[in-house]
Amino acid sequence: MSRQRSLTAFARVFAIAGLVAGTGVSLYSPAVQAADAWPSKPVTVIVPFPAGGGTDAFARPLTAQLSKQLGKQFVIDNRGGAGGTVGASLAAKATPDGYTIFIGGAHHAIAPSFYKKLDYDIEKDFIPVTVIAQPPQVIVVNPNKVQANTLKDLIAYAKAHPGQLNYASAGNGSAHHLAGELFKLQTQTDLAHVPYKGAGPALSDLIAGQVDLMFDGLGSSAQHIRAGRIKALAVAAKTRSAAFPNVPTAAEAGVPNYEVSTWYALWAPKGTPKEVVDKLYAETTKALNSPEMKAIWLQNGSEIPQFTQEQFAQFQRAEIKRWAEVVQRSGAKID
């Protein structure tokens, strides 16, 4: 009798499994199915600055590697303007299905204290995925316009000619802008700010001699430093860059504690399924640790960051607090 009951129970399970298979219904949960299927079509990657800047220098190789790994295209959509906040606003309002993601950076930790009427909240409207690069800022000058061979030379000239030197940035409220304001505070110099709609256009004008200097992420300046179009006076980091070992740190060059990284990161719109976010994190980590990415990151002056999702969230909160203090102390405003 016991054997008969066991056979009957087995038959019922077998029959249910057959019905499920016959109707095409999966025993997996919808969330697991979504993660397994993602991506089933191209993914739009909003980059909130024009092509040619630091964000692009890391976003394009990363998206190419993700496309290779996942078999679907990750397509960059450059949406510049207002220190990166235009693109961030678009990304915040995107359908949270995993098919629109956002690559921004340090600028978006500055924006909350700089722009008083943002229509998005970087902490509440996005899910932090991971930091993808942390190149240090580098202080670069046009060698034909600024006759300074060292950072001390630059500071001495700026103090002797207050307000005559100008510096370009990727826009009001960008990391480049606030790096300049922090530099002015620490060196007690007066430099005029010239905002652009991205690091690419700012660099072009620096190279052309339309502006004097720039506090730029090493990722976007690297190729131009190597080509001799611009001169690097110091990196804003604790240690020298492995990519440019002959360029001193700001501390070595006479400005202690001047440390700024133009970090870049990946977010997903709030509401994106956790399983999809986890898969995006895993695939991004895999991509970043590939030999191809390590070589490109080294050329761009950045090591491969190692952030968990929670560590990124904590880092983001700390950066928002840090830059709020700089904005308050410097009185930085839209020019």
Q: What is the pLDDT of residues 89-148, one digit of tens each?
A: 999 999 999 999 999 999 999 999 988 899 999 999 999 999 999 999 999 999 999 999
Q: What is the pLDDT of residues 295-320, one digit of tens each?
A: 999 999 898 999 999 999 999 999 99
- What does the alpha-carbon distance between residue 117 and residue 61 come to, in Å, rounded to a whole number? 33
User: What are the structural domains, with CATH classification, of the chain?
Assistant: 43-135+262-330 (3.40.190.150), 137-253 (3.40.190.10)
Work out the pLDDT band at 74, boundaries 50, 70, 90: very high
Work out the pLDDT band at 29, boundaries 50, 70, 90: low
Q: Give the pLDDT confidence score for residue 31 in this predicted structure.
A: 54
Work out the pLDDT band at 11, boundaries 50, 70, 90: very low
65-73 contacts, C-beta under 8 A, 24 or more apart: 65/287, 65/290, 65/292, 65/293, 66/283, 66/284, 66/287, 69/283, 69/286, 69/287, 70/39, 70/283, 72/39, 72/40, 72/41, 72/42, 72/43, 73/42, 73/43
> What sign has the CA pseudo-torsion 93, 112, 136, 310?
negative
Q: Give the pLDDT confidence score for residue 61 in this predicted structure.
A: 97
Q: What is the pLDDT of residues 158-200, one digit of tens each?
A: 999 999 999 999 888 889 999 999 999 999 999 999 999 888 8
Q: Are 310 and 88 in contact (CB under 8 A)?
A: no
Q: Give the pLDDT confidence score for residue 27 in this predicted structure.
A: 47
Residue 24 has pLDDT above 60, yes or no: no
Q: Are 191 and 158 in contact (CB under 8 A)?
A: yes
Q: Give the pLDDT confidence score for residue 45 in this predicted structure.
A: 98
DSSP H helices, the chain, are 2-23, 30-37, 54-70, 85-92, 107-114, 151-160, 175-187, 199-208, 218-226, 274-288, 291-299, 309-330
Average pLDDT in the 212-234 region? 95
Instruction: Write the burial class of residue 214 (CB in 10 Å: 0-12 exposed, 13-18 middle, 19+ buried).
Output: buried
Residue 19 has pLDDT above 50, yes or no: no
Q: What is the pLDDT of residues 252-288, one digit of tens each?
A: 999 999 999 889 999 999 999 999 999 999 999 999 9
3-state SS of the chain: helix, strand, coil percent to 5? 45, 15, 35
Q: Give the pLDDT confidence score for residue 81 in this predicted structure.
A: 86
Residue 7 has pLDDT above 70, yes or no: no
Residue 2 has pLDDT above 50, yes or no: no
Instruction: Write the burial class of residue 127 (CB in 10 Å: 0-12 exposed, 13-18 middle, 19+ buried).
Output: buried
Joined together, the tokens standing for residue 331 give 């009185």
Work out the pLDDT band at 30, boundaries 50, 70, 90: low
Work out the pLDDT band at 10, boundaries 50, 70, 90: very low
- What does the alpha-carbon distance between residue 248 and residue 142 come to, in Å, rounded to a whole number? 18
Residue 232 has pLDDT above 90, yes or no: yes
Residue 1 has pLDDT above 70, yes or no: no
Q: Give the pLDDT confidence score for residue 54 in this predicted structure.
A: 86
Mean confidence (pLDDT) of the chain: 90
